[in-house]
Amino acid sequence: MQQPKFERVVPSLLSAAVLAALASNASAWQSPATKRYLTAPLQVCDQGVFYVGGAPKMTDYGSSPVAGTGGTQQIIIGAMYVDFQVPMQTKKWPLIMVHGSGYTGSCVEGTAAGSEGWMDYTVRHNLTTYVVDQSGRGRSGFDKSVINEAEALIDTNPTAAKDLLPSFGGSTSSAWTSWFGHIIPAGTDVVTGIMVRHGQYGDPTCATDPLHCTFYGYIPMLPEAPQAVDMAIRSRTGNGAPQGLGTLAMEPPSYNWAYLALDAYKFNVPNTEATLPSYYCERCTPHTLNPTNTWTPKALAELVEGLGGAIVATHSQSGQIGLNTTRILKEHNKLNLLKGLITIEGGCSLEQAGITADDFDNIPYLAFKADYTAHSVQCEQTVRAIRTAGGKADYVELDNPGPNTTSPSNYTSPRMDGVSHMMMIETSNLRVMDVILGWADANIDNPLSNQRCPTLPAPPPRGRGK
């Protein structure tokens, strides 16, 4: 179902009302907690956080670039942060959600509009849900000793220092053109060009794909969602920064400022797992796995085994993480514990992960695509291979729902236009999750448990804990 088309605006002009509202709130941060996030009250039986995986590392650079400060230290690297919620009545198999590049688990815990996220919604649908931060990123932390050691070597051995320094990806610099819109004219940037959202006046795809210019994308932004823009950042004054910091302005004043101040960008973090070691995998092609596909798959496999079985849903960069988790479970003779694998806009290469279509005989598999992402021949081929081998697999495209000749799928989803790669932080996020849950209900045997949340004793009076 298409969303209503908002009034088109020439990029250099906004309505007087919107401009006035922006000006009056130029330095005021607007709390999203003034309105309800949840679609309805949510009861949970239990919730908490823990870590899984990791390995010890002995280092002389644990706290300083001066070798041996405080003596040799042991740190833990590669551990994975896990946040979970258990509903009052739960289905047999829990769901584990893994974020993609440049993000943490926060992207499924709420949206850029300040509304209910995928985690609460899946709990509402009786799924015990586990949300992770990839090993080495976000709340999982990273290995700072690598940077300290590189700093120590920078003067005496710059080549060795350069080899140690990781390359952090996950920048917001290309987020606009990758997911939310375009910069015109071609060859310009956010300083020299004009940022236009999908479907807005000036969208260069209108000529070749007119349908995509009959609606806007769902990422909350102006003019319909002024609360999704940080007005202090838009005004180029910063937001609570010390005097002289965070105040860089582009001259002359730019229409782009609003699009550069979207709260959506604040979900973004660097890919600090690059500080972790890589791994040699004999089964995989190529054999050397980067840190992303080394540490989180190991921790995920450990989590799945510890839970006694689970469904894993990955997004973007973590698509290959899910497939490498499959390989590790196979190596542990625990492949039966993976109850379903959902690849949301991620890589689908079985060869890279060292597995084959036959490994999915009893693992339902979904490759899922939104609207603005190109058709994936790789994912289509993987789905066809699994189905040929006798497994259950579907390739679902929201803007081209099956069954049809281009998307091998037995599952017919409703058509949804305007959904971007970052669908989980968009205003359509719950309708998108409905499609994914519908596929899971149709393909994964996951009945409701007969057990309900037990009644616990009353907590002790305040100040009189254990």
Instruction: Give the span between the Cα atoms of 229 and 239, in whole angstroms.
Output: 12
CATH of domain 44-57+72-136+277-450: 3.40.50.1820
Q: Where are the domains of the chain?
A: 44-57+72-136+277-450, 172-267
**Token digits for 380?**
């289509």
pLDDT tens per residue across all 466 residues of the chain:
344 343 344 433 344 444 444 444 445 667 778 888 999 999 999 999 999 999 999 999 988 888 877 788 999 999 999 999 999 999 999 999 999 999 999 999 999 999 999 999 999 999 999 999 999 999 999 999 999 999 999 989 999 998 888 888 755 557 898 889 999 999 998 888 999 999 988 999 988 888 888 988 899 988 888 888 888 888 877 776 776 676 666 666 677 888 988 999 999 999 999 999 999 999 999 999 999 999 999 999 999 999 999 999 999 999 999 999 999 999 999 999 999 999 999 999 999 999 999 999 999 999 999 988 889 999 999 999 999 999 999 999 998 876 665 678 888 888 999 999 999 999 999 999 999 999 999 999 999 998 888 877 777 787 665 5
